[in-house]
Amino acid sequence: MQSTKTLEVSATLSHSFVPEIEMGLLAQSASISPKFLYDPLGSNLFAAITLLPEYYPTKTEKNILFEYIDQIVDAVGVGGTLIDLGAGNCLKAESLFAALKPCDYIAIDFSADFLHDAIRNLETQYPQIRMQCIGMDFSKQLIISDAVNNVQRTFFYPGSSIGNFIGSQALKLLRQIKNQALGGGLLIGVDLMKEDSILMAAYDDPLKLTSAFNLNILRSVNAHLGSDFQVNQFRHVVKINHPLKRVELYLEALEDLTVSWLGHSRTFKKGELIHTEYSHKYTIESIKELLENAGFASVQIWTDPNDYFAVIYAR
């Protein structure tokens, strides 16, 4: 291992998620934050979803990055600090290494264990890149430490994960990115609104991987809370909310049931829903407006021939 290269794993998220989960479950309309979708099994299920032919965002984004890589390199510049938000298996960022030639690669994700393995694998292949991985719940607050190289920072936020935030949260995160880019920029993937049949196939796929991904959140919650959710008492439900331009994921109780955990319980009537995820779909105009409101003065946009997805460099 070269001396210039460091592997740093921040303290794993040690604080308890119990109060946050309880608040969602005890609310009149129950909800669970989508970040709990990404336990080790959920992260692997999501990786499998991205391989589905019906899940168009991943491959469409990949095609755009491939098609316009020269223009993207011109916009972003080479040799800087690549900060990967929601890095997962780090494969998307890796696909940019050859073109962007980063000096530093900072992988950030909620699930630090999953990230750790991916980084270990990458650092043997790219000894010239200093790598760090950080476990952080940046949905709450994004804090890039001063120890991270401040030269030519590019935040990389692919996959339209920004769509999983409601507008105010998305704006807050984008403002934090803008402030901590220190004159650098943001390379972001954004899913665009499209016809219902394409969206339904992507979020209610025939192999039922998205159903498993969604239902697994109950096991993830059981692990945090010590609750006794039973996966087979719920089903995966997808709705398309046209006025709010988003796909909505829920779990529907298949019977009257009670879920219990230390000191609390929650009853669900047959048909009652637990909200688990929003996936907002933007228009070019709405994403430009959001980025402008976050303080980004200029945007360059690349799309696919169907206008399904956009890759944007904002600074």
> 192: part of which helix (H) or strand (E)?
none
CA 293 vs. chain centroid, Å, equals 21
Q: What is the rounded distance in angstroms from the CA atom of residue 248 to the CA atom of residue 270?
A: 19
Which of 102, 159, 184, 185 lies at the binding interface for ligand AVI (CB under 6 A)?
159
Amino acid at site 231: V
Nearest to 285 by CA among 299, 266, 265, 267: 299
Q: What is the rounded distance in angstroms from the CA atom of residue 218 to the CA atom of residue 37?
A: 9
Q: Does 279 bind ligand AVI (CB under 6 A)?
A: yes
Q: At closest approach, how far in Å is the CB of 66 from ligand AVI? A: 20
Q: What is the rounded distance in angstroms from the CA atom of residue 150 to the CA atom of residue 100?
A: 16
Q: Nearer to ligand AVI by C-beta: 246 or 266?
A: 246
Q: Is the dihedral of CA 110, 112, 114, 116 positive or negative?
A: positive
Taking CB under 6 A as the binding criterion, the range among 128-136, 153-161, 169-177, 192-200 that sits at the site for ligand AVI is 153-161
Q: Does 152 bind ligand AVI (CB under 6 A)?
A: no
Q: Nearer to ligand AVI by C-beta: 93 or 129?
A: 93
Which of 68, 114, 203, 313 lies at the binding interface for ligand AVI (CB under 6 A)?
203
Taking CB under 6 A as the binding criterion, the range among 24-32, 115-123, 161-169, 257-265 that sits at the site for ligand AVI is 161-169
Amino acid at site 263: G
Which of 43, 89, 154, 164 lies at the binding interface for ligand AVI (CB under 6 A)?
164
Q: Does 189 bind ligand AVI (CB under 6 A)?
A: no
Q: Does 163 bind ligand AVI (CB under 6 A)?
A: yes
**CA triple 296-301-305, angle to 5 deg:** 160
CA 109 vs. chain centroid, Å, equals 9
Q: Where are the beta strands (DSSP E) in 130-232?
A: 130-135, 153-157, 185-191
Here's the x/- map for ligand AVI, 80-109, by CB under 6 A: it reads as ------------------------------
Q: What is the rounded distance in angstroms from the CA atom of residue 41 to the CA atom of residue 215?
A: 11
Q: At closest approach, how far in Å is the CB of 37 from ligand AVI? A: 7
Residue 267, beta-bridge partner list: 258
Q: Does 60 bind ligand AVI (CB under 6 A)?
A: no
Q: At closest approach, how far in Å is the CB of 160 from ligand AVI? A: 5
- Residue, CB closest to ligand AVI: 279
> 177: part of which helix (H) or strand (E)?
helix 167-180
Q: At closest approach, how far in Å is the CB of 159 from ligand AVI? A: 5
Q: Summarize as ranges the residues that interact with ligand AVI (CB under 6 A).
A: 49, 57, 159-161, 163-164, 203, 210, 277, 279
